[in-house]
């Protein structure tokens, strides 16, 4: 999607507005520490493997980079950091891919879209992920660092099977205000 998934106003207009993208598709996301763990939870080996490979491909772009091992360890923990030699001969430090997030767009039972994003350990042993694409809105190295956000979901869980079991009355009112 090239379009915001939702839009909202809190100050403008007559009342607070929250609009969610109009879509009959549903999305689920899961955090897995390996493709095997993903398959065990979802029974979807094709998606698990594809998403894992995509996450691996994105790793070099998406992983935070540090000038020193100390900085990397401070952000991700001692056993997470590896040295990467640059073409110019210098070295940088990057956390290893500690897991990946598989996002599936589901139209009914059919998978209509698939995404794999690498996840990294944070200092406290939780997981974090790059925000909005590889580098957030600010490009690394020029004017900022890649933005990372904590991953709230637990690793290797069964995905949500359905939504919407509550709140059916509320959805008949306009959320547009």
Partner 1 sequence: MRRLPLAERPNWRQRADECGFAFHTIGGEPYWDETHCYAFTLAQIEEDIEAPTEKLHDMALDLVDDVLRDESLLRQLDIPAAYWDWIAESWRRRDPHLYGRMDLAYAGRGPAKLLELNYDTPTSLFEAAFFQWQWLDDHMAAGTFPLATDQFNSIYESLVEAFGTIAKDLQRPLYFAAVRDSAEDQGTIDYLRDCAVQAGIECAAIAIEDIGVTDDGRYTDLDDRAIGTLCKLYPLEDLFREPFGQYLPSAGMQLLEPPWKAVLSNKGILPLLWQRHHGHPNLLEAHFDDGNGPLPPGWVRKPLHSREGANVRIHLPDGRSEEAAGPYAGPQIRQAFHPLPRFGDDNVVLGSWVVGDRACGIGLRADRSVITRDSARFIPHVILADDGGVFEA
Asked if residues 96 and 82 have their Cβ atoms less than 8 Å apart, the reply is yes
Integer Cα distance of 67 and 175 in angstroms = 48
Of the candidate spans 19-27, 34-42, 55-63, 161-169, the one that interacts with partner 1 by CB under 8 A turns out to be: 19-27
- 152 is an interface residue for partner 1 by CB under 8 A: no
Among 78, 124, 143, 161, binds partner 1 (CB under 8 A): 143
- 144 is an interface residue for partner 1 by CB under 8 A: yes
Residue with Cβ nearer partner 1 (74 or 132): 132
Integer Cα distance of 172 and 123 in angstroms = 44
Asked if residues 159 and 111 have their Cβ atoms less than 8 Å apart, the reply is no
- In the complex, least distance from residue 13 CB atom to partner 1, rounded to whole angstroms: 4
Interface size with partner 1, residues (CB under 8 A): 34
Cβ within 8 Å of residue 7, ≥6 positions away: 17, 19
Q: What end-to-end distance do the CA atoms of the chain give, in Å?
A: 25
Binding site for partner 1 (CB under 8 A): 1-5, 7-15, 17, 19, 21-25, 131-133, 136-139, 142-144, 147, 176-177
């Amino acid at each position: 999607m090239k379009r915001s998934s939702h839009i909202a106003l809190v100050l403008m207009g007559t009342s607070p507005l929250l609009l969610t993208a109009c879509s009959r598709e549903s999305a689920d996301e899961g955090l897995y520490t390996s493709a095997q763990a993903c398959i065990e939870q979802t029974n979807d080996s094709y998606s698990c493997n594809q998403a894992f490979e995509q996450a691996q491909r994105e790793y070099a772009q998406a992983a935070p980079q540090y000038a020193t091992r100390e900085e990397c360890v401070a952000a991700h923990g001692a056993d997470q950091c590896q040295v990467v030699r640059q073409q110019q001969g210098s070295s940088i430090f990057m956390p290893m891919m500690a897991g990946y997030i598989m996002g599936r767009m589901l139209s009914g039972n059919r998978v209509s879209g698939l995404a794999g994003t690498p996840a990294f350990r944070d200092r406290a042993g939780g997981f974090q992920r790059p925000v909005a694409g590889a580098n957030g809105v600010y490009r690394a190295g020029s004017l900022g660092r890649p933005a990372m956000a904590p991953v709230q979901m637990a690793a290797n869980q069964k995905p949500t099977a359905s939504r919407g079991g509550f709140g059916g009355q509320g959805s008949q009112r306009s959320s547009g205000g």
